[in-house]
Chains A and B, each alone.
Chain A
Amino acid sequence: NAGVMQNPRHLVRRRGQEARLRCSPMKGHSHVYWYRQLPEEGLKFMVYLQKENIIDESGMPKERFSAEFPKEGPSILRIQQVVRGDSAAYFCASSPPQGRLAGGSYEQYFGPGTRLTVT
């Protein structure tokens, strides 16, 4: 069973360009979380999605950032008109549906991250 996959692993964008980060959850997982890690900081929650639904986007900046998790295909985190402050590592995590019914795993499995550099 492949783990959470993220691509690209490294992404360089000039200021003003768009960045698209992809996350393929583990097989059977229907919950996806995006976190951002700034240098010397822990991970900060951005957005939580289930298939075709945004459940919680309280951690995502109101402008320029959007996320989706379509019925088919990976989850996408999109950053429009990137600025230098967007440079960070972006991690995706997935978890199985109905945590309590799935043996109470409550565990989020993390991908290797996408390191975005804005020049």
Chain B
Amino acid sequence: AQSVTQPDIHITVSEGASLELRCNYSYGATPYLFWYVQSPGQGLQLLLKYFSGDTLVQGIKGFEAEFKRSQSSFNLRKPSVHWSDAAEYFCAVGPGGNTPLVFGKGTRLSVIA
């Protein structure tokens, strides 16, 4: 069965510092991977996605993620965090096409001055 693990429940970083949010997945075939961000009381916004090709994908708001098949990971990174990045981040996996997604439990990011 598909599953997604986000090991960090809560991360606090200083504004301007770099960020890496971890995501590990369990899936039998090549997965389709996504990172979503959810601001308090809001819906989910897609940051980036990976289907195939270059394993380093660029997303919106300066985020990037790297797919590492050998480690079953799809970690999200940002070189310099802004206070507005404080939110909940969800990693998700799916088999592709029009199919439901499996989400991790999320990582809450706090940004301090």
Interface residues, chain A, CB within 8 Å of chain B?
4, 31, 33, 35, 40-45, 48, 56, 59, 91, 93, 95, 97-100, 104, 106-113, 115
Contacts and interface: CB of A to CB of B under 8 A. Distances in A.
Contacts of A43: 44, 90, 92, 101, 103
Given A106-B32, A112-B43, A45 B100 contact: yes
Contacts of B41: 115
A95 B97 CA distance: 9
Interface in B44-93: 44-46, 49, 51, 90, 92
Nearest to B52: A104
Contacts of B22: none
B94 A56 contact: no
A106 B94 contact: yes
B98 A59 contact: no
B19 interface: no
A107 B46 contact: yes
Given A41-B105, A109-B46, A113-B42, 20 more contacts: A42-B90, A42-B104, A43-B44, A43-B101, A44-B103, A45-B102, A48-B100, A59-B100, A93-B44, A99-B96, A99-B98, A100-B96, A104-B51, A106-B32, A106-B51, A106-B97, A107-B34, A110-B44, A110-B45, A112-B43
A104 B49 CA distance: 11
Contacts of B105: 40-42
A112 B43 CA distance: 4
A83 B61 CA distance: 40
B88 to A, nearest CB: 9
Contacts of A113: 42-43
Contacts of A31: 98
A69 to B, nearest CB: 13
B103 A42 contact: yes
A94 to B, nearest CB: 10
A96 to B, nearest CB: 8
A97 B32 CA distance: 17
A4 B46 CA distance: 13
A48 B36 CA distance: 19
